[in-house]
């Protein structure tokens, strides 16, 4: 609502603010809960005039568009009050397809129908604007949980190793790389889970702590690894063994 300062009495007055004559007319029709018809526009003509008088009383210049709409309201009201002349006046007819017709207003001599068409178009736009505003208000009350950024593992810039250790490691990796394409012979062992449990019981008694791959050994096929894992699970379930993994993707520690 704009604030108007009266220079004579030096006090501030607040009046309602509208974006144009159609906004004012739409406000009056909606406040009266009427449909956009000639009768409803004629019913709010007096209220429209009262608003213009209020603005003029504060020495505010009224735009010509407001006066044009008021003149159309007076013409419409006079048509409804005076007895119609069948030769000069006929009930206007239009549909929603005429709303967006740019030349309809120019070809229509009836100012009331023209005003209804313009106000109906404004009501459609205003309804869409209110819907968008409501959507915006609803979105402001919703918050999306931000994605949790996982920090990458960092490594120290300086390695606490000697030059001799680096050289020996390089030689060991170089020798291992030469045997990459060499075929590996897997030992196929046919053993059941109960038999593997008995073997593990005897094996762990000699050494109380083992790693999983230490129990499996080297160059054994997949079935032997699976049987060993199932046997360990059964022994852990029965409380004969304990298993622990300090971190992801590291070997299991098996102990009594």
- Please report whether residue 238 resides in a domain: yes
Which CATH number fits the domain that encloses residue 192?
Answer: 1.10.10.580
- Please report whether residue 111 resides in a domain: yes
Co-location of 15 and 79 in the same domain: yes
Name which residue leads in pLDDT, 191 or 95: 191
Tell me if 42 sits within 8 A of 80, measured CB to CB. yes
CA angle 31, 35, 37 (to 5 degrees): 120
106 pLDDT band, cuts 50/70/90, is very low
Name which residue leads in pLDDT, 242 or 87: 242
d(CA 236, CA 244): 11
- Is pLDDT above 70 for 197? yes
Co-location of 22 and 129 in the same domain: yes
Q: What is the strand order of the sheet 253-255 is part of?
A: 209-211, 253-255, 242-244
Considering the chain, what is the average pLDDT of its residues? 72
Tell me if 32 sits within 8 A of 17, measured CB to CB. no
User: What does the pLDDT look like over 42-90, one tens digit per residue?
Assistant: 778 888 888 887 777 666 666 777 888 878 887 777 777 776 665 554 5
Residue 13, pLDDT score:
41
- Please report whether residue 16 resides in a domain: yes
d(CA 11, CA 4): 8
Co-location of 63 and 129 in the same domain: yes
The helix or strand, by DSSP H or E, that contains position 253, with its residue range, turns out to be strand 253-255
CA angle 247, 253, 256 (to 5 degrees): 140
Q: Which domain holds residue 46?
A: 3-83+97-140
Q: What does the pLDDT average to over 129-157?
A: 73
Q: What is the pTM of this model?
A: 0.38
The number of folded domains in the chain is 2
- Please report whether residue 57 resides in a domain: yes
Co-location of 7 and 133 in the same domain: yes
Co-location of 131 and 217 in the same domain: no
Co-location of 59 and 135 in the same domain: yes
Highest-pLDDT range among 54-68, 135-149, 238-252:
238-252
**Least confident interval from 31-40, 99-108, 199-208:** 99-108
Co-location of 43 and 119 in the same domain: yes
- Please report whether residue 156 resides in a domain: no
């Amino acid at each position: 609502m704009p604030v108007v300062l009266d220079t004579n009495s030096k006090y501030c007055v607040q009046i309602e603010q509208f974006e144009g004559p159609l906004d004012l007319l739409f406000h009056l029709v909606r406040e009266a809960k009427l449909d956009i018809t000639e009768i409803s526009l004629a019913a709010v003509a007096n209220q429209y005039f009262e608003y213009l008088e209020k603005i003029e009383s504060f020495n505010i210049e009224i735009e010509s568009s407001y006066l044009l709409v008021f003149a159309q309201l007076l013409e419409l009201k006079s048509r409804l009050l005076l007895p119609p002349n069948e030769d000069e006046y006929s009930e206007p007819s239009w549909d929603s397809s005429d709303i967006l017709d740019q030349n309809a207003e120019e070809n229509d001599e009836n100012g009331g129908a023209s005003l209804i068409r313009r106000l109906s178009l404004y009501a459609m736009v205003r309804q869409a604007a209110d819907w968008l505003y409501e959507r915006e208000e609803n979105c402001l009350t919703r918050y999306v949980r931000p994605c949790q950024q996982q920090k990458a593992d960092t490594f120290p810039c300086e390695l606490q190793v000697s030059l001799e250790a680096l050289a020996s490691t390089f030689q060991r990796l170089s020798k291992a790389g030469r045997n990459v394409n060499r075929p590996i012979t897997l030992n196929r062992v046919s053993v059941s889970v109960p038999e593997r449990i008995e073997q593990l019981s005897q094996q762990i008694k000699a050494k109380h702590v083992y790693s999983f791959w230490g129990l499996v050994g080297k160059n054994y096929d997949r079935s032997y690894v699976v049987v060993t894992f199932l046997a360990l699970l059964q022994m852990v379930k029965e409380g004969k063994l304990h298993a622990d993994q300090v971190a992801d993707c590291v070997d299991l520690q098996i102990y009594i």
